[in-house]
């Protein structure tokens, strides 16, 4: 492909500071450290592409675009690049031990589209860094979490490529989700959308904040609910969708699901009192005196969260940030913890190294003081080679979710997330797997924390090895049980 042809495609990918493309309102979602948005080609133009974008060292930003034709493109920005608009520059990119030389064309003093070989996109993976050199300036950016962000960009294109955007504000809006027919009916009211978003969250879907605004996350959450319930639908908010959600919440015994004649919509009305019931438990651990980390699935849809430790409970826990795609959440505790864990940053995790897991499994059955298990790192990726995870042999049970996995020096190396379903696996293969459990890598957690401006403390790179008893004490002192009430 000639440079001019490739740049014509790259021109579709534009950073947020470039005015030739316009973001579609409500399309932006955050996936870990990456921001995904859909763009039109100029004001009120047709859908053009979706972009995953992040900023890191020295304000260096990377944008990776995906068009409706299945073409990946790349652009970058840096505050001090000192480029001349429309000038061409030689760009050197290094990733995964491979060096690429490419042509770049500047949009302005800080932005350029890069004519890079298509095969580079297969090299952009979590655990890697991309180094970019141009105009005598050198930058690096971490690619952790890029796999789910890239998939979300594909989903974004699938969605918006099927939508005919209105050319004028007063035209009838087109369907906001694939397969839906345009309608002349007025758009859903903010109150209806807020109710639907709240119900979706109670059922464990992630529609984004309950703000009454329909965006891609809300559309996708509605569609996911419809598919999981065996319902046909278009992912659009409607009174019918709210009724379906209310029935699903009632069937699960959620708030407002009593057998009386009160409307199920009371489940999302804050002015209607109801008795909250314990719906589940998990584990969390502190990364600073007042901030703790757990899994998103531990806190999703909870009307109230409590911390329980040594027989006492603490209310007033505040949810700070969540990521359904990475299954991570940050909470703010009302009272500081005397102990917290430091994060293992910059030290690669190695196969077979020891790991200690602490948590509160099988609540009301096992010890309320928590349980410690030991094992090893058995693989550096999760199911289907998902590089956001590590596989560990330390035993975990329901209730361990969100707990810490620490190394021989007491540094956090992962967040316990799941175990392999041995029964389901045995049905498929005829063999029962043993000690196959997973933790979210600390690098994935770091990207999530940085994306939400949550402070953490890196551990010393050459920390001394600790006796297993000291590691267990450190993990226990920094951890707490989390109770979810609905």
pLDDT of 298 above 70: yes
CB contact at 8 A, 63 and 13:
yes
Residue 273 token pair? 């009192």
Average pLDDT of the residues of the chain: 77
Distance CA 42, CA 46 (A): 8
pLDDT band at 105 (very low <50, low <70, confident <90, very high): confident
pLDDT band at 354 (very low <50, low <70, confident <90, very high): very high
pLDDT of residue 329: 94
In this prediction the pTM is 0.47
Q: What is the pLDDT of residues 174-220, one digit of tens each?
A: 322 223 333 333 345 677 787 788 888 888 787 777 777 766 677 77
Distance CA 237, CA 96 (A): 44
pLDDT of residue 480: 95
Q: What is the mean pLDDT of residues 158-183?
A: 43
Report long-range pairs for 36-42 (Cβ below 8 Å, ≥24 apart).
36/149, 36/152, 36/153, 36/156, 36/216, 37/156, 38/156, 38/157, 38/159, 38/160, 38/216, 39/12, 39/14, 40/165, 41/12
pLDDT band at 293 (very low <50, low <70, confident <90, very high): very high
pLDDT of 269 above 50: no
pLDDT band at 366 (very low <50, low <70, confident <90, very high): low
Q: Quick check: helix, strand or coil at residue 128?
A: coil
pLDDT of residue 274: 56
Q: What is the mean pLDDT of residues 459-464?
A: 85
Number of DSSP helices (H) and strands (E) in the chain, helices first: 9, 24
Q: What is the mean pLDDT of residues 134-140?
A: 89
pLDDT of residue 325: 78
pLDDT of 140 above 70: yes
Residue spans of the domains in the chain: they are 3-160, 190-268, 276-486
Q: What is the pLDDT of residues 1-22, one digit of tens each?
A: 333 333 333 333 444 333 345 7
Using the structure block, give the residue that is written with the tokens 């100029």: 42
pLDDT band at 45 (very low <50, low <70, confident <90, very high): low
- 21 alpha-carbon distance from chain centroid: 26
Fold exhibited by the domain 3-160: Immunoglobulin-like (2.60.40)
Q: What is the pLDDT of residues 227-257, one digit of tens each?
A: 777 776 667 788 778 878 878 877 765 333 3
CATH number belonging to the domain at 276-486, selected among 3.40.50.2300, 2.40.128.640, 2.40.10.120, 3.40.50.300 = 2.40.10.120
Sheet of strand 479-485: strand arrangement: 312-314, 304-309, 479-485, 278-286, 291-294, 328-332, 318-323
């Amino acid at each position: 492909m000639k440079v001019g042809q490739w740049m014509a495609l790259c021109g579709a990918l534009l950073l947020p500071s470039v005015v030739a493309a316009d973001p579609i309102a409500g399309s932006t979602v955050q996936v870990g450290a990456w921001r995904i948005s859909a763009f039109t080609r100029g004001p009120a133009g047709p859908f053009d592409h979706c972009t995953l974008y992040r900023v890191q060292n020295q304000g260096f930003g990377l944008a990776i675009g995906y068009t409706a034709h299945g073409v990946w493109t790349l652009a970058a920005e840096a505050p001090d690049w000192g480029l001349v608009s429309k000038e061409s520059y030689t760009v050197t990119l290094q990733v995964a031990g491979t060096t690429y030389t490419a042509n770049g064309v500047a949009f302005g003093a800080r932005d350029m589209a890069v004519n890079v070989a298509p095969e580079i996109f297969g090299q952009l993976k979590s655990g890697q860094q991309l180094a970019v050199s141009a105009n005598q300036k050198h930058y690096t950016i971490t690619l952790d979490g890029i796999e789910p962000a890239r998939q979300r960009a594909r989903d974004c294109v699938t969605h918006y490529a099927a939508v005919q955007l209105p050319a004028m504000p007063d035209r009838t809006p087109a369907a906001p989700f694939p397969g839906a027919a345009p309608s002349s009916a007025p758009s859903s009211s903010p109150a209806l959308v807020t109710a639907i978003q709240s119900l979706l969250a109670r059922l464990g879907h992630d529609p984004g904040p309950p703000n009454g605004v329909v965006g891609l996350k809300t559309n996708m959450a509605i569609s996911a609910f419809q598919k999981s319930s065996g319902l046909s639908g278009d992912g659009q908010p409607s009174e019918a969708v709210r009724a379906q959600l209310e029935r699903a919440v009632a069937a699960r015994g959620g708030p407002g699901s009593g057998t009386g004649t009160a409307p199920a919509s009371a489940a999302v009305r804050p002015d209607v009192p109801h008795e909250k019931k314990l719906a589940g438990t998990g584990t969390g651990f502190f990364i600073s005196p007042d901030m703790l980390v757990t899994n998103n699935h531990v806190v999703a849809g909870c009307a109230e969260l409590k911390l329980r430790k040594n027989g006492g409970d603490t209310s007033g826990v505040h949810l700070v940030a969540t990521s359904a795609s990475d299954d991570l959440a940050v909470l703010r505790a009302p009272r500081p913890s005397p102990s917290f864990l430091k994060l293992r940053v910059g030290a690669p995790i190695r196969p077979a190294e020891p790991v200690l897991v602490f948590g509160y499994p099988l609540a009301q059955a096992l010890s309320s003081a928590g349980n410690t298990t030991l094992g090893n790192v058995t693989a550096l990726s999760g199911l289907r080679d998902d590089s956001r995870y590590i596989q560990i042999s330390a035993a975990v049970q329901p209730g361990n979710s969100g707990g810490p996995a620490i190394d021989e020096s007491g540094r956090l190396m992962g967040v316990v997330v799941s175990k392999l379903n041995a029964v389901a696996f045995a049905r498929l293969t005829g063999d029962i797997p043993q000690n196959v459990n997973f933790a979210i890598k600390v690098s994935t957690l770091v990207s999530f924390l940085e994306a939400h401006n949550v402070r953490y403390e890196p551990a010393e790179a050459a920390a001394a090895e600790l006796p297993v008893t000291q590691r267990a004490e450190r993990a226990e002192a920094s951890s707490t049980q989390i109770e979810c009430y609905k």
